[in-house]
A and B are shown apart, each in its own frame.
Chain A
Amino acid sequence: MPLENVRHIVLVLSGKGGVGKSSITTQLALTLSLQGHSVGVLDVDLTGPSIPRFFGIEGKKVRQAPGGWVPVDVHEAQQLKTRHTNGVADGETAAAAPSEEGQKTGGLSCMSLGFILSNRGDAVIWRGPKKTAMVRQFLTDVLWPELDFLLIDTPPGTSDEHISLLETLLKQTTSSARPNQLAGAVVVTTPQAISISDVKKELNFCKKTGVRVLGVVENMAGFVCPNCSECCNIFSKGGGEVMARDFEVPFLGSVPIDPAFVMLIEEGVRPRYPKGTVVEGKAMVEREDGVEGDKEGLLVEKYRECSLAPVFEGIVRRLVEDVRSRD
């Protein structure tokens, strides 16, 4: 059976586009990996795959092996060195698996249509049936290594990709011996009413299809001006929490906008912050004036210094506990 190497499958859904599904998927994957789990990411957004870009592996191609496709490795399981700075790493290692050599980090691999296209600018102009077939193939023909978590990043909406994805997954998981394999869905929203109204549709979609909602993440909640440190709620605030309460699903947390994270993804620059920035009780690495941020190192290792890392640490810990408690 395909997916037999995968212990838990988590969907990342949102009715609205551009709320940060891929960005949240990326950060969930990085954080899970930092906590020592092995993670796979499957991108089923066929007409706009962004996962390769997020992990900085755009040039990579999928290899064909007997029996299926080999997903692209972002990094292998390894021990990350603990940084001896005032960075976030200290706190995190204490939380994850503390060891002499460093932080135990799980492997991370990805699969996306972006790896198959010959030219990154090419449009994938497919009608529903072709998309359905591709989604099925992604679920059955990818040779995942042993995974603790498989995150599935979806396109916006509730249409062909979603229907096919759930049809295939529900058929597989209900017939298998592990009914908890499809752990549930993380629903992403931004705080504005416009986004909330679309995401409510997605929550109803989960209800109708019987997928458990693991929780709601509110993304783009607030932006801290790097100059004056005043927090401005560009897309208003609190909408996600209210919606979660209305639908009686857990609220996992608010994620602010962090330009340093955008920089990390877009240019691979190590996140640096103004002096005295403290997030969730942890001091961030200071920005030194006139020094260009360095680009060396693995994405996962640089991400530890991002101000969003502690936020996700909390979200992921809750998720993992929740999923494990149902095993």
Chain B
Amino acid sequence: MNLTLKVWRQSGPTDAGRMVTYKVEDVSPDMSFLEMLDVLNERLIIEGDDPVAFDHDCREGICGMCGMVINGVAHGEQRATTTCQLHMRHFEDGATITIEPWRAAPFPVVKDLVVDRSAFDRIIQAGGFVSVPAGSAPDAHSVPVRKEDADSAFDAATCIGCGACVAACPNGSASLFTAAKITHLSLLPQGQPERLTRAKAMVDQMDAEGFGGCTNTGECTAVCPKGIPLDTIARMNSDYLQANKK
């Protein structure tokens, strides 16, 4: 396959950035999207150009490090798939592909397609945990958990923190990310004691980071590689409003 890539290039946080066009030839349909970019980068290095910087690590769809907006869709149009798991067989030969970084004020561009997502860590710091020092835990079987609750908690807990939800949201909201963690812990008995304080602290931190508000468009869950459901946001709202009543 031969492709034309239009890639966002930005040398650093203060650079204005621009789209640059590259041709990539002899792309195999079995390549992953990132392997296709590897090929481009290998060529750029030999030519003495700066290769396109992009974040990636596990390349098996679980670390959440990779992420780019491909043809206007976070992680590309293939549903429930991270960029690293997107394969070139889903593109037409001769296609033009635009590649942009996640765009959100709380995710400033570091370089090219690399953005700073430390805002997510700070949201977790605000309360995305159960306070339990090592060694103090009771026997794992002392508290049974309804299977349905455990399964739903797991569904929410599969969030990989990639930030696609923010990238796709017309408001630049981090609600799905925040709600996923709140829901995960809110559904389990272990998460109950801190349930309301957690919801309040995390939502307030999300605001403080400068993310937009949720308008329930559902764009986030549509691009989420793990399919985190939208009703996690309802649960977050419920916990948050309850916390504010107290």
Pair from one complex: no
What is B's interface to A at a CB cutoff of 8 Å? none
